[in-house]
Amino acid sequence: MATLELLGIVKTFGATTVLHGVDLSVGEGEFVVFVGPSGCGKSTLLRVVAGLEQPDAGEVRINGRTVNAVSAAHRGCAMVFQSYALYPHMSVYDNMAFGLENLGLARAQIDSKVSAAATLLRLDALLQRKPTQLSGGQRQRVAIGRAIVREPELFLFDEPLSNLDAELRVSMRAELRDLHARLKATMVYVTHDQVEAMTMADRIVVLRDGRVEQIGAPLELYNRPANRFVAGFIGSPQMNFLPVALLPPGAAELPQGTHSIGLRPEHARADREGPIALRLTHVEQLGATSLLRGMVGDATPFEMVCTGQTAAVRGDTLRVTLAREHLHCFGPDGQRLQHAP
């Protein structure tokens, strides 16, 4: 297991600054996920940790040792890529053993390490197959196995599940969490999928435009987002936002300076006395839940998630109540405001 510290990491490509002074500390055995929209700098940050990119300023420390001048091969990291990067002409065994052979390990050591990793990842019966004979999930497990046999101090994952179909992504998420529990290893994982981040991470690092917006446990970010960006990015369906100007006078007690309010779809409730009029444009009956989409005012979209099935149909107008305990209030700068006690 390893600790990781990033101190004031800056990275530029030409005239474009991709990372703006990123600070982060990862503890031993933590599973930390970098999440954010495309182009936010999360993969670049991971490559800086791995040594595949050099920062223009700042320090990367692994186990307290500054490794800026240490090559990628000697940092004690193993990286798993989105593309699997397997050698198509080699068997599963040879793909997993290749790096160890280059290190000059004895055949008995290589056999032992590959066998142990194959057992851990349920690849025992596939060791003689070629990558083209494997499913996407099996190929990804081989790529992970290739990392495990190196016994790295730090595992780095760069969107490893993005090439898999939706059902396989769900099962692979569970497998990676189980693997983390069994190895007790330090893992840093990059994804643009906030559902992956919520279900896998011990802590989430939300990035936007090369800056850290918020760091915290998944439910901390969900329940107390630091700003509108985090509030809208974390959660599916995403949080509703309403300008204060759309609220009738006295509709809710709000902190001074509130510019907009946020309400998650599952916290919206239909109520005949509710202050908000929602004109339904779509109703999705999902069986266990119903998703209602519509408009508040002329141009503000709003969604509700209701338990069970609903009699509401497109074209209906519902009144929606605003439960104070579930409101998120934001100032003109988009930062979260605290409720008055």
Alpha-carbon span 179 to 218, nearest angstrom: 19
Q: For a pLDDT cut of 90, what percent of the chain falls above it?
A: 74
| Helical pair 136-148 and 166-183, crossing angle rounded to 10 deg | 20
Q: Choose the CATH number for 237-245+261-337 among 3.20.20.150, 2.40.50.140, 3.30.300.20, 2.40.40.20.
A: 2.40.50.140
User: What are the C-alpha distances in Å from 316 to residues 116, 279, 288, 295?
Assistant: 60, 6, 21, 11
337: left (phi over 0), alpha (psi -120 to 50) or beta: beta
Average pLDDT, rounded, for the chain? 92
Do the beta carbons of residue 328 and residue 260 sit within 8 Å?
Answer: no
What is the rounded average pLDDT of the residues 147-164? 89
pLDDT value at position 171? Answer: 84
* 4-231 shares its CATH topology with 237-245+261-337: no
What is the rounded average pLDDT of the residues 148-173? 87
pLDDT value at position 10? Answer: 98
pLDDT value at position 341? Answer: 44
70: left (phi over 0), alpha (psi -120 to 50) or beta: beta
What is the rounded average pLDDT of the residues 143-151? 89
User: What are the C-alpha distances in Å from 120 to residues 34, 124, 136, 306?
Assistant: 26, 9, 18, 41
How confident is the model over 248-258, as pLDDT tens digits? 887 778 888 99
How confident is the model over 87-109, as pLDDT tens digits? 999 999 999 999 899 888 999 99
Threshold 0.75, pTM exceeds: yes
Do the beta carbons of residue 123 and residue 164 sit within 8 Å?
Answer: no
What is the rounded average pLDDT of the residues 216-240? 95
Domain ranges of the chain: 4-231, 237-245+261-337
Of the candidates 194, 186, 241, 244, which has an alpha carbon nearest to the alpha carbon of residue 222?
A: 194
Q: Choose the CATH number for 4-231 among 3.40.190.10, 3.30.70.260, 3.40.50.300, 3.40.50.10420.
A: 3.40.50.300
